[in-house]
Structure 1
Amino acid sequence: MFGLSFLVLLVAGVGWGYLKLGGSIATFSADGISDNRPPDSSNGQNVLVIGSDSRSGDNVKLGGGTGTVGRSDTAFLLHVYGDREHAVAVSIPRDALVDIPACKKPGGEWTAPQHDVMFNGAFSVGETPEGNPACTQNTVEQLSGLRVDHTVVIDFAGFSALTSAVGGVPVCLPKDIYQRDLSPKRPTRGDLIFTKGPQSVSGQRALDYVRLRHGIGDGSDIGRIKRQQAFVASLVKKIKSQGLNPTTLLPLAKSATDAMTVDPGLGSADRLLAFAMSMKNVDLHNTKFVTVPWRYEGARVAIVEPDADALWAALKADRTVDGKDASGKGSGKDEKKDKGPTAPEAPVSGKGIDVAVYNGTTVTGLAARAAELLRSRDFTVTTTATASRQDHATTVVEYGPGLRDEAETTARLFAGARATASDVPGIQVILGSSYAANPSAAPEEPASSGVPSAVADEARSADDDPCANLSYG
């Protein structure tokens, strides 16, 4: 299910163009998309792709879970660079702890923001079989600071049909896989499902492959993400090797369009075709797959700052994983060779910014200490108090409508702090234990436009060996 956006959009768009299919593509309502959105600051385009594991309709035959509420085990943000010759898909782990902003439920009411909750909970807000793609889009925009141009939801049934229509996808397993690896509660090992090494999968077997989590590596979702990245790389490679022409695309067109629900901006043949054709020149080696910087936090995953911010900043600047300018405006040379000396960043100034400071830890006097730091940088501190919770691990800067830039300036004073939108007016600094442990840590400078080396070193290209680097742990 992971990473089908390039294939689905290209096949569906070109297929619609060839077939002149009637009717319309399924769309979700844009009413739930937040009004408090990041600016459109990149020359490229951003597509959020969500894999839906709803057990309603045809999906119920494909197994994998219970219940009728739409859930998402897979999501990534695809950035198509301004030159339309490069693309990168950034996976966001389902267990990542994030802040989910206010989201609209089916009845029309808006939820309260949620803090430090699992990322995939955004898709389940409202508890409907279709899920809540608008809420997931709001969450990704708040997390990344990138404006999402389009959102695509792909379901199990469509995924299964599409992999069959393409004639199977080459994959690779690092070991033999048995039924209990797919269903850990099974009392016995069961039958052999996959043999070690390269093979081709389609339909239910393809679905089992991308669902597979246990029995390989450390059994984590991170390991599964790596195999899903390898899967889509292999899928894109196969489609391109067959040629993008009517003979190869016609059998896939209906499967592709049936597989997805899209935002209204892609909800017509003409719009889908135009967007699909904008990606036709992205070659295999320049199609990259990475995961947002992360670390384990108990049974969950924490997003690592400032590395994540540096990754998002690189996408905003249309810098590739290997540091090239892919905005379509420049020469595309390496950033380090291209750029001259960089002027030093101006020190943090809070002139004209009002903040309230709350101690989110059990350390006495922390709010007063932070208030002193803020005043020394010309911030106006309106309040110091104890937060409603004293278990904050990191410092959070919450901001009301229209105050994103001011909040990001404030966050620079606190190492590792993140800015997050709130429905409460003004700016509130909630201090975490990371600040208590090291209040003299150097303020963060704005993220550079280079991808962190830890991310770049783990990047996969669509032309990589499908047997390479298949699991974490």
Structure 2
Amino acid sequence: MTTTSDQAIPSRHRRRAEPPRRGSTRGSARGRRAAQRRTRGPLRTALLVALAVAVLGTAGLGWIYLRLNGGIDTFDDAGLSRNRPGAGSSKGTNVLVIGSDARTDGNSALGGGSKDDIGRSDTAFLLHVYADHKHAIAVSIPRDTLVTVPPCKLPDGSWTEPRTDTAFNSAFSVGQTKKGNPACTQNTVEELTGLRVDHTIVVDFKGFAELTDVVGGVKVCVPQDIYQRDLNPHRTTRGELVLEEGEQTVSGQKALDYVRIRHGIGDGSDIGRIKRQQAFVSSLLKKIKSDGLTPTKLLPLATAATESMTVDPGLGTANKLVSFAMSLKDIDLHNTKFVTVPWRYEGSRIAVVEPDASDLWASLKADRTLDGKDAGGRKRTASASASASPSPGEGVSGDGVDVAVYNGTTTDGLASEAAATLTAHGFTVTGTGNANSRQHPTTVIQYGPGLRSRAETVAGLFPGSGLEAIGGTGINVVVGASYATAGTSAPAAPTAVPTSVADDARSADDDLCSGLSYGSGG
């Protein structure tokens, strides 16, 4: 729902035993002792590996655990927001994946530019793994999407002020550090979606290129011939042919060129690039699944990933990381979907389209798939579901939350009624009055930068209400006509991803060449 803002308130190495001399009893004894030591060594190692296997519950992974542990970089989670969505905001698991164009650690050789450049995010998507662990959906967020970047922590320990109508990729650059600011991007995604991000993974150029080498290349479909100038529009000549039109297998630098190209295909938009990136990830998943996640295959794959990957502390050990990866093994390709946040052009930028975006996030919270199926992982009878469904407002606590209430209808007294309900649940009502427009069909919860999670708490008291980001520093409730009849005809919560999103979705098993270009390139 799109509304107009009515109110805005202010190894150690063992020394080998020398070989015994022939006929020497003493030498023979030394040899026997050395042999015993050599026997005990492998036995001890085998026991350690067996223990690790038992912990992970998957044969062969213990060796991988011992090999990888301690080689994973993590970012500081002290920079995560102080007003995060609740841990129970979604039944499934949400993982933010960021493609960084940071030029540190040898990445400048692959991506070009200066090694002293600040880190930026070229690509980002939110992966929602449904609670049944049989479905997953990745929601791409265009880099130029206009969003609210909430308060983020700077290198000196201070926090920024919230910024509205700001390009999404700018969040990763807050603090102007070479490796970027993953925590700030996570904060921004949580602010945008109202979903709690359980894990964040940052992959750089080098990590991506090595990953494609390890799997032996990835099949792609190139809509047209690509030349050097297509990769660098500042070139004065066309340059050499980089990628030929048609299906082919790419790895390393060529794979990186494929997913980064923007200006040489279609209308040169980031939306078109996102479509090709989604197709590439689909093809990569196909390759990994066809090879199988055996220890022999998994070790080099995991090694390549961890060497150039930064994760949140929750994935900061091989145990946690491998366990999470193995939790995805039962998701088949057809049930792995790729979509893009509902969008429209806003000049040269991208605006989020409402209410489609809010409906998308609500569907993910409820673990509903593209076709509306419940993938929450539990089956209940209708009576059990009914008895387990909380009444509106049950469990909602407004302790510490200030709210102003405005009547957006011509029915007198609704603001006062809503204020009384809010007060009964612990909210502090700072004032009531009439909205500028009194033709609101539904209730709207307006919120300032950094306050989305609190606004969602407020919305728990008003079934069917919508959320609207505004300027200012507070939360308003603009009561709509639906409030008067909320007890009998409250709008039902979304049961499926909006049609506008579902119709443009890609499955990981789709044809390699389908839907790759956007705009004038066909």
* TM-score grouping bracket, smaller chain normalisation: 0.7 to 0.9
- What CA distance in whole angstroms lies between the structure 2 residues aligned with 1:447 and 1:100? 27
Partner of 1:31: 78
Report whether the alignment pairs 1:405 with 2:427. Answer: no
- What CA distance in whole angstroms lies between the structure 2 residues aligned with 1:14 and 1:74? 33
Partner of 1:375: 415
Q: 1:373 to 1:257 in 2, by over 3 A?
A: farther
Letter matched to residue 415 of structure 2: R
**Match 2:201 to one of 138, 152, 160:** 152
**Match 1:127 to one of 173, 176, 183:** 176
Aligned residue for 2:358, secondary structure, equals: helix
- What CA distance in whole angstroms lies between the structure 2 residues aligned with 1:16 and 1:219? 46
Deviation string, structure 1 residues 267-316 (Cα, Å, up to 9, x no partner)? 11111122112111111111111111111100000011111111111111
* 1:356-395 → structure 2 map (5 Å cutoff): 356=404, 375=415, 378-379=418-419, 382=431
- Structure 1 residue 189: Cα displacement: 1.6
CA contact (8 A) 2:445 2:475 kept: no
Report whether the alignment pairs 1:179 with 2:228. Answer: yes
- What CA distance in whole angstroms lies between the structure 1 residues aligned with 2:462 and 2:344? 21
Partner of 1:418: 468
Q: 1:78 to 1:214 in 2, by over 3 A?
A: same
Deviation string, structure 1 residues 30-83 (Cα, Å, up to 9, x no partner)? 111112111223221111111110012210111344452110010111111111
- Structure 1 residue 409: Cα displacement: 6.6
Report whether the alignment pairs 1:53 with 2:101. Answer: yes
Report whether the alignment pairs 1:460 with 2:500. Answer: no
- What CA distance in whole angstroms lies between the structure 2 residues aligned with 1:112 and 1:323? 39
- What CA distance in whole angstroms lies between the structure 2 residues aligned with 1:427 and 1:445? 22
Letter matched to residue 266 of structure 1: L
**Match 1:108 to one of 157, 175, 178:** 157
Q: 1:411 to 1:119 in 2, by over 3 A?
A: farther
Deviation string, structure 1 residues 231-255 (Cα, Å, up to 9, x no partner)? 0000010111111112322332321
**Match 1:316 to one of 365, 368, 389:** 365
Partner of 1:390: none
Aligned residue for 1:204, secondary structure, equals: helix
Partner of 2:264: 215
Partner of 1:43: 91
- What CA distance in whole angstroms lies between the structure 1 residues aligned with 2:255 and 2:61? 23
**Match 1:303 to one of 349, 352, 356:** 352
Paired-residue identity, %: 59
Q: Which has the larger displacement, 20-29 or 444-453?
A: 444-453
Using structure 2 for the length normalisation, give the TM-score: 0.73
Q: 1:401 to 1:288 in 2, by over 3 A?
A: closer
Aligned residue for 1:57, secondary structure, equals: coil
Partner of 2:517: 471
**Residue segments in structure 2 that go unaligned for 5+ positions in a row:** 1-55, 420-428, 435-443, 484-489
| Number of residue pairs aligned between Structure 1 and Structure 2 | 426
Structure of larger gyration radius = 2
Letter matched to residue 227 of structure 1: R
Q: 1:406 to 1:63 in 2, by over 3 A?
A: closer
- What CA distance in whole angstroms lies between the structure 2 residues aligned with 1:410 and 1:190? 61
- What CA distance in whole angstroms lies between the structure 1 residues aligned with 2:452 and 2:153? 17
Deviation string, structure 1 residues 147-185 (Cα, Å, up to 9, x no partner)? 111111101111111111111100001111111111112
Deviation string, structure 1 residues 303-337 (Cα, Å, up to 9, x no partner)? 11111111111111111112211111028x9x9xx
Report whether the alignment pairs 1:451 with 2:497. Answer: yes
- What CA distance in whole angstroms lies between the structure 1 residues aligned with 2:333 and 2:290? 10
**Residue segments in structure 1 that go unaligned for 5+ positions in a row:** 1-9, 358-366, 386-393, 432-438
Partner of 1:137: 186
CA contact (8 A) 1:226 1:470 kept: yes
Letter matched to residue 97 of structure 2: V
Q: 1:82 to 1:191 in 2, by over 3 A?
A: same
- What CA distance in whole angstroms lies between the structure 2 residues aligned with 1:208 and 1:446? 45
Using structure 1 for the length normalisation, give the TM-score: 0.80
CA contact (8 A) 1:32 1:103 kept: yes
Aligned residue for 2:221, secondary structure, equals: strand
CA contact (8 A) 1:396 1:419 kept: yes
Partner of 1:360: none
- Structure 1 residue 447: Cα displacement: 4.8
Letter matched to residue 468 of structure 2: R
CA contact (8 A) 2:343 2:351 kept: yes
CA contact (8 A) 1:400 1:421 kept: no
Aligned residue for 1:61, secondary structure, equals: helix
Q: 1:255 to 1:402 in 2, by over 3 A?
A: closer
- What CA distance in whole angstroms lies between the structure 2 residues aligned with 1:72 and 1:400? 24
CA contact (8 A) 1:411 1:419 kept: no
**Match 1:328 to one of 369, 377, 382:** 377
- What CA distance in whole angstroms lies between the structure 1 residues aligned with 2:273 and 2:366? 29
Q: 1:311 to 1:17 in 2, by over 3 A?
A: farther
Q: 1:238 to 1:401 in 2, by over 3 A?
A: closer
CA contact (8 A) 1:53 1:156 kept: yes
Letter matched to residue 62 of structure 1: L
- What CA distance in whole angstroms lies between the structure 1 residues aligned with 2:117 and 2:61? 32
